[in-house]
Chain A
């Protein structure tokens, strides 16, 4: 009979034992789960090992800033060469970690506010880049090959057991905690306050190991507020063309708006221009969308059935509480957001994405990257891509599919998600939107990347809308047609001026390009009077005083 030799028995609980050792080390600094803010750095040194994979929130909006500062203050001899996996590189301190040698490797999704510095540090070799992802993609990898050993998260409040309330800005937290807590990781939360009872339980206590009370509420950036006063006639014109040329004919009910002034203009034109066209109830009723203040007039006018949100938006809490028919709210009445699910909604449950970008090339590939700024992808590629795993039909999806491929038998013909790029032909500082070669390609060469960082690929784009008209790429039958369709709406940019006039005219005859007059829109009518709200104050009025804009938007 074989005797089991203990020395050769394989142990299968390494990670759990390692986690328990970390918890024991951290517990020496804690009373129950609670650690004083002044001990936060020592907690990091106790719990984190060199080379660990750390998920620091780092969300699109909220930032675990106290825990980040605490991590920054560790002795690099004790904690170094960390692999940071985080959605957003937002605070300067996120990059200071690399400067100090605390962190070495990075996988992330979005770096808007740090886009210049991160580019600089990547070129300088200060950061070893894993990859730039979309949010959903990064979340997915948290469960496969980028599982964090330690998660540093931000919550609004906690009870003494560690039940967390993440409130309106729940964002990425449930996803981060799920991946970390259930794979033998350690979860440390900073909270604004410790209470006897949390308003609702967003994260159950048994997933949370340590709690640190911050002396300041965690940092949240207002990202989705667009001042109606800044919307230009050009943006209003593109919005009118989008509504009449795409929303209406395809009957788009379920959609996501990328953030920008053109989409803000669309939101503000629904109750006026959209109403005049008799479109209420026929378009724009179900959204995967952050709580855009610019959508308030449309909501108040009865356009919107339901919105699911990735995060919240500063100043919108009371409005959302009062509109629980529209938004997702918890038993406490406040918004419950969830980035992972909203991203999934945008991918599979929406029939259209419409958003803006910085550069579009002749195939329709688009990018927000320039050689001096790397902003990452955020979530746009999930919205702005055809979801080939989709199986349920809808009218717009089938119509787009038929336009793309009229010859296949219909029962074998998948639909297409409408992916619309909207913008004026010249952007900020009169930089052209349309280019022969994307700067993203140059960047890829410089950084030796396998893939150029493309936000939305040309073969996913279905329409491009500029002040010159609407180009329907679904109806293009060759790369040459596609190129001329793009040149045909590229206005007076060099790309536009180099168009083949005859071919563009033929494309117009076929309806591949629609000019404003083809849609019955006179550019001279694109007037700011068409907006349902002209100012932030108007939005406050529309909301019945419930919307409380942050200071930087006030002029009263």
Chain B
């Protein structure tokens, strides 16, 4: 397993009011993303535990694009990854932002 950590400043705070959301399942080729609205301002943090070792550069690129596109300010993402492909990671991150941004409790 490899632990990775990324900090970013987004353009703006993420939409919605829900405090937490979770998407995905930890399995081969899949990952879970727990997102919590706990950071101040437009800060954004991603903590990753991944079963695929040595892909730090790819994670960096995926996350950079994700932050640029979805502006997830104020959110902390905690990820358990079973070796998913980068496009699956992108998808789950987007799903997490969408889910926490929805109306609801």
Interface set of A (CB-CB < 8 Å, partner B): 233-234, 424-426, 430, 467-468, 491-492, 497, 523-524
Contacts and interface: CB of A to CB of B under 8 A. Distances in A.
Contacts of B91: 233-234, 523-524
Given A234-B85, A424-B85, A467-B87, A492 B58 contact: yes
B91 to A, nearest CB: 6
Interface residues of B, number: 16
A501 to B, nearest CB: 11
Interface of B: 29, 52, 57-58, 61-62, 83, 85-88, 90-91, 94-95, 98
Shortest Cβ-Cβ A-B pairs, 10 listed: A492-B86, A426-B85, A467-B87, A492-B58, A430-B85, A492-B61, A234-B87, A497-B61, A524-B94, A492-B62
Nearest to A424: B87
B88 A234 contact: yes
B86 A524 contact: no
Nearest to B58: A492
Contacts of A233: 88, 91
A491 B86 contact: yes
Nearest to B86: A492
A191 B91 CA distance: 53
Contacts of B87: 234, 424-426, 467-468, 491-492
Contact of B52 (A424, A430, A491, A524): A430
A430 B83 contact: yes
Contacts of A468: 87
Nearest to B57: A497
A68 to B, nearest CB: 38
Contacts of A424: 85, 87
B50 to A, nearest CB: 12
A424 B90 CA distance: 13
B88 to A, nearest CB: 7
A233 B29 CA distance: 12
A523 B85 contact: no
A239 to B, nearest CB: 14
A43 B16 CA distance: 80
Contacts of B57: 497
Contact of A425 (B83, B86, B94): B86
Nearest to B65: A492
B103 to A, nearest CB: 17
A10 to B, nearest CB: 68
14 contacts: A233-B91, A234-B87, A234-B91, A424-B85, A425-B85, A425-B87, A426-B86, A426-B87, A430-B52, A468-B87, A491-B86, A492-B61, A523-B90, A523-B91
Contacts of A425: 85-87
A468 B91 CA distance: 12
A491 B58 CA distance: 10
A424 B91 CA distance: 13
Most chain A CB inside 10 Å of its own CB: which residue of B91, B94, B95: B91
